[in-house]
Amino acid sequence: MAIDGTKLDANASKIRSVRYDRAKQLREKLAAAAEVRALPVVSEQASSDGTVKWLFDVGDGNAIESVFIPEDDRGTLCISSQAGCALACRFCATGHQGFARNLSTGEIVAQLWFAEFALRRRLGVAERVVSNVVMMGMGEPLANFDNVVSALQIMLDDHGYGLSRRRVTVSTSGMVPQMDRLKEACPVALAVSLHASNDRIRDEIVPLNKKYPLKELMAACQRYLVKAPRDFITFEYVMLDGVNDRPEHARELIALVRDVPCKFNLIPFNPFPNSGYDRSSNNAIRAFREILQEAGFVVTVRKTRGDDIDAACGQLAGQVQDKTRRQEKWIRIAEEKG
Ligand code: SAH
Ligand code: SF4
């Protein structure tokens, strides 16, 4: 059978033109329904240890931060879920700022989108740089539940970022009902900011504890593990001198978590003026760690990263102590950038 090349060419060009029209219609529809733009970057700072921190403008004088932390076997991006935080943990600079607003799903995913783009350009590579995401920046992720879950789904989707559930971690100060909801909606790895071995201390430093005390929190952790992608909860524990860092606290902690398979991440307190707290001594941290290890727990002590750019994850506000000073700094940077 002879094939008429002219007819084939004509058909191909007809198909191309139909496709073009459809693509054009889709572009017009998208332009009417959605806004496609990156978050405005106020600043990008790179540390000598490879840590990179971005400050993004989210409008109305609010800025949020994301931090990339490279390690030998992974690249972790720490992202924010809210501008400010309403939960007012006493040792947290974000908590001292107060709450401005929830970030949208787009604003949460945009942090990953931008970091991946900027890092590939910075490192001159074409392949994926961010392998892990931790929601340990500004804000309480589970207080912005719907937007955070939609953002997580995009990060996990094969048509999105295709990250594994094990490599995406939500950190919560212990919002018990939302932990149950997350377990059903999108069970990613979970870190819980424990910080105390009894309700008396936790009531004081994590006010949310008065609503969801430790017994309820431990039960919620057990329930979460039924669907969690990892078979342990990571308990974060900020080391505050003379407050929660004594050997008796470590022993009390062991009893508290006895029914919850877990690992501990000890975080040396990142001080800021007027916090009223000091960082535990290295000796106190070492002794605390040893007691937990002798009881069979895996314990890591968070390394201070990006010190020269003030980028310790979980304490992003750093030297910018309160909202006023933060905004002053932000406005100054914005003015310098013209
Ligand atoms: N709101 C969530 C996630 C953001 S905070 C939460 O509380 O878990 C991320 C981690 O940084 C939490 O464990 C938090 O308690 C810790 N953190 C806050 N302020 C800190 C500080 N000044 N020094 C050390 N860790 C701090
Ligand atoms: Fe909010 Fe977490 Fe800071 Fe507590 S530690 S105030 S929950 S950001």
Distance from the CA of 71 to the center of ligand 2, in angstroms? 25
More confident of the two residues 97 and 250: 250
Distance from the CA of 136 to the center of ligand 1, in angstroms? 7
Q: Please, what is the average pLDDT of the chain?
A: 90
Atom of ligand 1 nearest to the CA of 277: 22
In which band, very low, low, confident or very high, does the pLDDT at 4 lie, cut at 50, 70 and 90?
low
Catalytic residue among 71, 85, 313, 336: 313
Q: What was the pLDDT predicted at 52?
A: 96
d(CA 209, CA 256): 15
* Pocket of ligand 2 contains residue 85 by CB under 6 Å: yes
The residue whose two tokens read 């910080």 is: 195
Average pLDDT of 113-121? 97
| Lowest-pLDDT range of 6-20, 144-158, 245-259 | 6-20
Average pLDDT of 279-284? 97
In which band, very low, low, confident or very high, does the pLDDT at 220 lie, cut at 50, 70 and 90?
very high
184 near 145, Cβ under 8 Å?
no
* Structural domains for the chain: 40-337 (3.20.20.70)
Catalytic residue among 65, 107, 140, 236: 65
pLDDT score of 228 more than 80: yes
Torsion of CA 57, 61, 62, 67, to 10 degrees: 40
In which band, very low, low, confident or very high, does the pLDDT at 330 lie, cut at 50, 70 and 90?
very low
Q: What was the pLDDT predicted at 21?
A: 83
Atom of ligand 1 nearest to the CA of 171: 8
Q: Report the relative pairing of strands 82-84 and 99-102 from DSSP bridges.
A: antiparallel
Helix residue ranges, H only, 98-157:
105-123, 145-156
In which band, very low, low, confident or very high, does the pLDDT at 308 lie, cut at 50, 70 and 90?
low
Q: What angle do CA 215, 196, 94 make, to 5 degrees?
A: 110
pLDDT score of 65 more than 70: yes
Ligand 2 atom 4: the closest Cα is on which residue? 89
Q: What was the pLDDT predicted at 224?
A: 98
More confident of the two residues 322 and 63: 63
pLDDT score of 320 more than 60: no
Q: What proportion of the chain, given as a percentage, has pLDDT over 70?
A: 88
250 near 293, Cβ under 8 Å?
no
**Tens digit of each residue's pLDDT (9 = 90 or more) over 238-265:** 999 999 999 999 999 999 999 999 999 9
Atom of ligand 1 nearest to the CA of 192: 8
Ligand 1 atom 7: the closest Cα is on which residue? 173
Q: What proportion of the chain, given as a percentage, has pLDDT over 90?
A: 77
In which band, very low, low, confident or very high, does the pLDDT at 319 lie, cut at 50, 70 and 90?
very low
pLDDT score of 323 more than 70: no
Beta strands in the chain (DSSP E): 41-46, 52-57, 63-70, 75-78, 82-84, 99-102, 132-135, 168-172, 189-193, 233-239, 262-268, 299-301
pLDDT score of 107 more than 80: yes
Average pLDDT of 287-305? 93
In which band, very low, low, confident or very high, does the pLDDT at 321 lie, cut at 50, 70 and 90?
very low
d(CA 183, CA 95): 26
Q: What was the pLDDT predicted at 15?
A: 74
Ligand 2 site-directed mutation target among 65, 79, 89, 277, most atoms within 8 Å of CB:
89
How many other C-beta atoms lie within 10 A of the C-beta of residue 102?
20
| Lowest-pLDDT range of 32-46, 164-178, 217-231, 310-324 | 310-324
Average pLDDT of 150-170? 97
Tokens representing 161 are 């970022």
C-alpha 184 chain-centroid distance: 20
Entry pTM: 0.88
**Tens digit of each residue's pLDDT (9 = 90 or more) over 258-268:** 999 999 999 99
